[in-house]
């Protein structure tokens, strides 16, 4: 892959070409093709519940929403470190955490670790209660939007739209300041499932959700800690560094990278 990121226009053109030559119409909102490596579909992915009780139902809803994809089945399991703020990623897992992370500027962060060029080996989500404890964000629609979107990123999905003031597209992958809509941006839409069909159409010769041993150690070694600073996130490649949504890439060399999707508070 390698910075196909840098050549978003080329990627979009290729996707459009694909859409023109194959039915059904393909979604085209992911400029990357980051995906979990797997030898068969649907594949199983564990979402580790490290959230406090107030967030558990939102995680369960996000899990069942994304499992409607015929390419993957997510399941929520007990996390290994409770609702601690560190949320260190574990190879093969999606760690989901919340905490009062402070006035960081971000409502939520989703990070994916990339190995062998375009395969996701681990991921984490952090939800910042410093903002979600405030009336503006402490709403059912806002919590659905952010949990659904951050988990969607851990599957390899990008935003469908990052303009926070234009009309809602009816998907949680659309950034908005009005998640209730109408239409509601609290859940995925058919375009998201079509995108998952596209990025999970091929099969790989190995499985990153169950990576163990030397391969897992190598993937972990190559990746940084879950340190939420712009320096740790790397280069801004899409969106804004401080408003709306922003996507950052840290190139770690040898086909390893971390991609961080940041949802900024208003
Ligand atoms: Zn692959
Ligand atoms: Zn996002």
DSSP assignment of 25-39 equals PPP---SS--EE--S
CA-CA distance, 58 to 97, in Å (whole number)?
Answer: 12
pTM: 0.86
Is residue 168 assigned to a domain?
Answer: yes
Tell whether the model's pLDDT for residue 32 goes beyond 60: yes
CA of 120 to the centre of ligand 1 (A): 9
* pLDDT given at position 266: 85
CA-CA distance, 86 to 66, in Å (whole number)?
Answer: 25
Nearest ligand (C-alpha, residue 164): 2
CA-CA distance, 125 to 127, in Å (whole number)?
Answer: 7
Is residue 255 assigned to a domain?
Answer: yes
Q: In sequence order, what E strands does 79-118 have?
A: 93-99, 106-115
Taking ligand 1, which is a single-atom ion, which protein residues have CB atoms under 5 Å away? Answer: 204
CA of 85 to the centre of ligand 1 (A): 31
Tell whether the model's pLDDT for residue 62 goes beyond 60: yes
Once rounded to an integer, what is the mean pLDDT over residues 73-96?
A: 83
Q: Are 190 and 65 in contact (CB under 8 A)?
A: no
Question: How many separate domains does the chain show?
Answer: 1
Tokens of 110: 């989703």
CA of 123 to the centre of ligand 1 (A): 16
Residue 262's nearest CA partner among 65, 90, 126 is 126
pLDDT tens for 191-235 read 999 999 999 999 999 999 988 776 677 666 656 556 788 888 999
| CATH code for the domain in which residue 69 is found | 3.40.390.10
CA of 39 to the centre of ligand 1 (A): 9
Average predicted confidence (pLDDT) for the chain: 85
What band does 22 get if pLDDT is binned at 50, 70 and 90? Answer: very low
State how beta strands 256-264 and 106-115 pair.
antiparallel
CA of 42 to the centre of ligand 1 (A): 14
CA-CA distance, 252 to 232, in Å (whole number)?
Answer: 11
Is residue 121 assigned to a domain?
Answer: yes
Is residue 2 assigned to a domain?
Answer: no
CA of 243 to the centre of ligand 1 (A): 32
Is residue 6 assigned to a domain?
Answer: no
* pLDDT given at position 82: 58
Tell whether the model's pLDDT for residue 4 goes beyond 50: no
* pLDDT given at position 85: 64
CA of 202 to the centre of ligand 1 (A): 7
Structural domain of 223: 35-264
Residue 153's nearest CA partner among 111, 209, 114, 195 is 111
* pLDDT given at position 70: 97
CA of 109 to the centre of ligand 1 (A): 24
Question: In this predicted model, which residue has the larger pLDDT, 16 or 204?
Answer: 204
* pLDDT given at position 162: 86
pLDDT tens for 125-164 read 999 999 999 999 999 999 999 999 999 999 999 999 988 8
pLDDT tens for 158-186 read 999 988 889 999 999 999 999 999 999 99
Nearest ligand (C-alpha, residue 120): 1
* pLDDT given at position 189: 98
Is residue 97 assigned to a domain?
Answer: yes
Once rounded to an integer, what is the mean pLDDT over residues 26-46?
A: 79
Is residue 213 assigned to a domain?
Answer: yes
Inter-helix orientation angle 140-154/53-67, to 10°: 50
Q: Are 191 and 160 in contact (CB under 8 A)?
A: yes
* pLDDT given at position 12: 38
Is residue 9 assigned to a domain?
Answer: no
């Amino acid at each position: 892959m390698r910075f196909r990121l840098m050549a978003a226009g080329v990627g979009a053109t290729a996707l459009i070409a694909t859409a023109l030559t194959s039915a059904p119409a393909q979604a085209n909102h992911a400029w990357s093709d980051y995906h979990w490596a797997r030898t068969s579909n649907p594949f199983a992915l564990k979402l580790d519940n490290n959230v406090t009780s107030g967030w558990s139902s939102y995680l369960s809803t996000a899990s069942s929403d994304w499992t409607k994809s015929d390419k993957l089945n997510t399941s929520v399991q007990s996390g290994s470190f409770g609702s601690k703020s560190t949320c260190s990623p574990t190879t093969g897992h999606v760690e989901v955490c919340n905490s009062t992370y402070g006035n960081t500027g971000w409502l939520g962060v989703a990070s994916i670790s990339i190995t062998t060029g375009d395969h996701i080996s681990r991921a984490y989500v952090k939800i910042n209660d410093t903002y979600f404890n405030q009336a503006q964000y402490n709403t059912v629609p806002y919590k659905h939007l952010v949990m659904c979107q951050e988990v969607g990123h851990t599957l390899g999905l990008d935003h469908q739209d990052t303009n926070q003031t234009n009309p809602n597209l009816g998907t949680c992958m659309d950034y908005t300041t009005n998640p209730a809509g109408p239409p509601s941006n609290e859940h995925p839409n058919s375009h998201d499932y079509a995108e998952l069909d596209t990025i999970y159409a091929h099969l790989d010769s190995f499985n990153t959700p169950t990576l163990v041993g030397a391969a897992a150690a190598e993937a972990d070694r190559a990746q940084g800690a879950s340190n939420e600073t712009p320096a740790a996130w790397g280069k801004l490649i899409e969106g804004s560094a401080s408003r709306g949504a922003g996507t950052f890439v840290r190139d770690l060399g040898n086909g390893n990278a971390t991609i961080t999707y940041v949802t900024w508070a208003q």
